[in-house]
């Protein structure tokens, strides 16, 4: 019974909110952010105050997951971006 309620809740939620593919990683959304602003990984790294783009390359290639500080750096630098989109993929991208 509880499984039916859970499945039903997910179906209702999916119908009411536009959601990215749940398998999409944060790195995929960071790539989308870069595309939106027409930035390279190097440019985004410099905007965030990083010495080089290595950390971002690992995230974009989904070889690692971002830490709290990395997520906060992105959200602080792009305050118009929704944290729900960056972390979970809930649309829309911007407030």
Q: How far apart are CA 78 and CA 57, in angstroms?
A: 19
Q: Which two tokens stand for residue 53?
A: 């783009």
pTM of the model: 0.74
- What pLDDT digit, counting tens, does each position of 24-39 carry? 789 999 999 999 999 9
- What pLDDT digit, counting tens, does each position of 40-82 carry? 999 999 999 999 999 999 999 999 999 999 999 999 999 999 9
- Taking each helix axis from N to C end, the angle separating 41-48 and 68-77, rounded to the nearest 10 degrees, works out to 90
């Amino acid at each position: 019974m509880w499984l039916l309620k859970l499945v039903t809740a997910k179906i209702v939620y999916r119908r009411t909110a536009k959601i990215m593919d749940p398998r999409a990683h944060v790195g995929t959304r960071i790539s989308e952010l870069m595309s939106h602003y027409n930035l390279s990984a190097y440019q985004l790294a410099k905007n965030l105050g990083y010495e080089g783009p290595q950390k971002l390359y690992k995230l974009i290639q989904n070889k690692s997951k971002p830490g709290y500080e990395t997520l906060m750096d992105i959200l602080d630098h792009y305050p118009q971006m929704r944290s729900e989109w960056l972390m979970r993929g809930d649309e829309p991208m911007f407030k």
